[in-house]
Structure 1
Amino acid sequence: MKMIFARTKLLFPLGLILFLITSSIHSQTKTYSIAFGSCDNQRLKNELWKSIDENLPVAWIWGGDNVYSDTEDMNALKENYAIQKNDADYLEFMANKQILGTWDDHDYGLNDGGEEYPYKRASQQLLLDFLGTSKDAPERFRDGVYNSRLINVDGNKVKIIVLDTRFFRTAVTKSLNSKKRFQPNHYGQGTILGEAQWKWLEQELNSSEAPFNVIVSSIQLLSDKHGFECWGNFPHEIDKLEKIIVASKAKGTFIISGDRHIATFSSKKVPNLNYPLVDFTSSGLTHVYSSFSGEENPYQIGKVVAEKNFGLLQFDFTNHLVIMQIRGAENNLLSEHIQQY
């Protein structure tokens, strides 16, 4: 190296040489970004699309409550999706990237709704239309909007596993002895995903060869003390998911979620899993829980963000890590968690 430098120092200034060396190192690091978000009221202006696009994500994941349309009128729901999809900033944003996602209750059609919603099959097709799902996709012909997609950029793979926490979800238990909305069901009572979706999820994880696997859940998995909708209302379902992840040996598996109108990171040490299980919540895009003053979450890491936000996932395939960022207006970085896998 000294000989090379001695021969070239008369031709190139030192600053240029260091720049070339640094550029060479960075060019060997394989990375790309995926963005996600939830809670986007079509009647409010989403001012984040351009900020999201500054990060050059290759894909956008809708995390649920993609419109607000608690209704049994499918024409009204269709019109609300049209408002959202025809927004000028969104049309420009979606032009050069993959779009996928799930629903939550307000775009499903029933606040806190589950299997009892009578128009869920018609609503399902409207969501898939909004996402641009092909007419021959499996989720067009089966119950539930769950699906998966392999994002492959120059051979660098991320598997996105999108869950449906609405179509099959059985009854929740209203809280009787506190100001909370719900309390956990008795252990073993009820389901979030339903039998068919559980089998599908297990197959998706078992067959995955991707170095990163992102599970999309509209509701939070780990934060389970707040009394709103979450996986904690079905504690046996949390145990089942954790055991499936461990048994599958799927690499770099973590959760992204929405629903809460706040953004935060939660992390849990799961027995026999050689990395922490992270649940990255990003919500909301157009309106947030601005009066948030704190809540119990034993798995919380970092701060809770209560301003408009989106989630950004930066995958570093060379160093086997994910840089998880909560970003807001003007693309400002609000909080960050780096997870090594």
Structure 2
Amino acid sequence: MFTRRTLARLMAAAAVTATPALSQNRPPLSRIAFGSCANQTMDQSIWDAVLSYRPDLFLFCGDNVYGDFNSADAANLKHAYEEAGKVAGYSKLRDTVSHLAVWDDHDYGLNDGGVEFAHKAVSKELFLDFWNAPATDVRRKRDGIYDSRIIGPPGMRVQVILLDVRWFRSPLKVTDQRGAPGKERYLPDPDPAKTMLGPVQWAWLAEELRKPAELRLIVSSTQILAEGHGWERWGNMPLEKQKLIDTIRASGAKGVVLVSGDRHIGALYRETPADLYPLYEVTSSGLNMVYWAAKEAGPNRLGALYAAANFGVVDVDWWERRVVLALRDDGGNTRRSVEIGFDTLGITT
């Protein structure tokens, strides 16, 4: 006989690993929460606020543990997952709330790491085991951990696309002026041979965006739209950032919203590409890893940075035809938000 805890874990895992057809038969999502950067050695009381929000779905957007390692046994990453499993709020959310996850560099195993990381196959198996991916999960048979789900009935479908911006990503161009504002660590690199996603994942993304859905959340562990800083971001490979925009446009996909983490700050962004509706991005980071002294230019940022512990939310009102992107603090209070009408995102149904 299953214990209540075991049954709850099985139910949550089943909701996450459901086939697209089963996912479409679920009630429409209206309360989606997400976050990144949760150091397993530090206080994680923010989970109380996340659970009080009562999300229909939670998205783990990377740095879900901090377990950098440089040996084939991946001992530090294994230990990090073991410690994370002991965090009460973290475990309660994983046991009781439907969730999806993607990694960033510190649960990938190498700070700012990409294609060059020698032990990524080991970290992939540890990731999939921690997130209870079944033996039949397609991610166990292909490179990378990119994934996608469509949840909700026709007319109220949310597609969640989780990009892997680590496994295939080319090396970044190192700054010529380390620490200088806007050039802190990396510089934009126009080399057309460099890639964020790799050809197979790019082709997969184009196909996913052509599937029917009303609202689409593209989750990238690193920021997509943010400008004005020299840390990791898609702007470090400007041709790849433009390719993402072009791929969205060419697919005809409406209702795309961008979700990211990584930066140890929270922020909202907007950019309006040519011949496309405005793209909005909400960055939520960190759940407990915070860059309190953050200060940076934000030419396409909406309002100020929020440099304190935070989680993000996507509130969808299907009847009022609007979505609210917001950042909430560790008490559950809204600190930054933007309301977007469906028409603004090209959603016509």
| TM-score, normalization by structure 2 | 0.85
Structure 2 residue aligned with 1:315: 316
Once residues 150 and 75 of structure 2 are traced to their aligned partners in structure 1, the CA distance between those partners, rounded to angstroms, is 33
**For 2:199, what is the secondary structure of its paired residue?**
helix
**2:225 is aligned with 1:249:** no
Structure 2 residue aligned with 1:259: 262
Once residues 155 and 227 of structure 2 are traced to their aligned partners in structure 1, the CA distance between those partners, rounded to angstroms, is 37
The question of whether the paired residues in 1 share the 8 Å contact of 2:68 and 2:76 is answered with: no
User: 1:243-289 deviations in whole A, cap 9, x for unaligned?
Assistant: 1111112121011000100000010001111x310111000001211
Tell me by how many angstroms 1:187 deviates: 4.2
Tell me by how many angstroms 1:96 deviates: 2.5
Structure 1 residue aligned with 2:20: none
Q: Which amino acid aligns with 2:122?
A: A
In the alignment, structure 2 segments of 5+ residues that lack a partner are 1-27, 343-349
The question of whether the paired residues in 1 share the 8 Å contact of 2:259 and 2:283 is answered with: yes
**For 1:242, what is the secondary structure of its paired residue?**
helix
Structure 2 residue aligned with 1:330: 331
Identify the match of residue 192 of structure 1 among 189, 196, 202.
196
Identify the match of residue 272 of structure 1 among 270, 275, 281.
275
Equivalence map 1:154-165=2 (5 Å): 156-165=156-165
Once residues 151 and 52 of structure 1 are traced to their aligned partners in structure 2, the CA distance between those partners, rounded to angstroms, is 21
Tell me by how many angstroms 1:31 deviates: 6.2
Tell me by how many angstroms 1:337 deviates: 0.9
Structure 2 residue aligned with 1:182: 186
Structure 2 residue aligned with 1:238: 241
Tell me by how many angstroms 1:201 deviates: 0.4
Structure 1 residue aligned with 2:300: 299
The question of whether the paired residues in 1 share the 8 Å contact of 2:155 and 2:214 is answered with: no
Percent of matched pairs sharing the same residue: 39
**For 1:54, what is the secondary structure of its paired residue?**
helix
Equivalence map 1:21-170=2 (5 Å): 32-72=30-70, 73-152=73-152, 156-170=156-170
RMSD: 1.6
Once residues 169 and 253 of structure 2 are traced to their aligned partners in structure 1, the CA distance between those partners, rounded to angstroms, is 25
Tell me by how many angstroms 1:153 deviates: 6.7
Once residues 204 and 65 of structure 1 are traced to their aligned partners in structure 2, the CA distance between those partners, rounded to angstroms, is 25
**2:180 is aligned with 1:206:** no
Once residues 89 and 55 of structure 1 are traced to their aligned partners in structure 2, the CA distance between those partners, rounded to angstroms, is 13
Tell me by how many angstroms 1:291 deviates: 1.0
Once residues 95 and 340 of structure 2 are traced to their aligned partners in structure 1, the CA distance between those partners, rounded to angstroms, is 30
Once residues 272 and 34 of structure 1 are traced to their aligned partners in structure 2, the CA distance between those partners, rounded to angstroms, is 29
The question of whether the paired residues in 2 share the 8 Å contact of 1:99 and 1:132 is answered with: no
Tell me by how many angstroms 1:340 deviates: 1.6
| Structure 1 range deviating more: 147-156 or 166-175 | 147-156
Tell me by how many angstroms 1:133 deviates: 1.7
**For 2:302, what is the secondary structure of its paired residue?**
strand
Structure 2 residue aligned with 1:25: none
User: 1:132-157 deviations in whole A, cap 9, x for unaligned?
Assistant: 22221111110001000122279732
Distance 1:153 1:132, change over 3 A: farther
Q: Which amino acid aligns with 1:312?
A: V
In the alignment, structure 1 segments of 5+ residues that lack a partner are 1-29
**For 2:314, what is the secondary structure of its paired residue?**
strand
User: 1:138-197 deviations in whole A, cap 9, x for unaligned?
Assistant: 111100010001222797321100000000011111111453211011242411100100
Once residues 86 and 135 of structure 1 are traced to their aligned partners in structure 2, the CA distance between those partners, rounded to angstroms, is 24
Structure 1 residue aligned with 2:3: none
Structure 1 residue aligned with 2:5: none
**For 1:336, what is the secondary structure of its paired residue?**
strand
**For 1:117, what is the secondary structure of its paired residue?**
coil
Distance 1:253 1:154, change over 3 A: closer
Identify the match of residue 217 of structure 1 among 220, 241, 247.
220
Q: Which amino acid aligns with 2:233?
A: C
Structure 2 residue aligned with 1:9: none
Once residues 291 and 52 of structure 1 are traced to their aligned partners in structure 2, the CA distance between those partners, rounded to angstroms, is 24
Once residues 77 and 95 of structure 2 are traced to their aligned partners in structure 1, the CA distance between those partners, rounded to angstroms, is 23
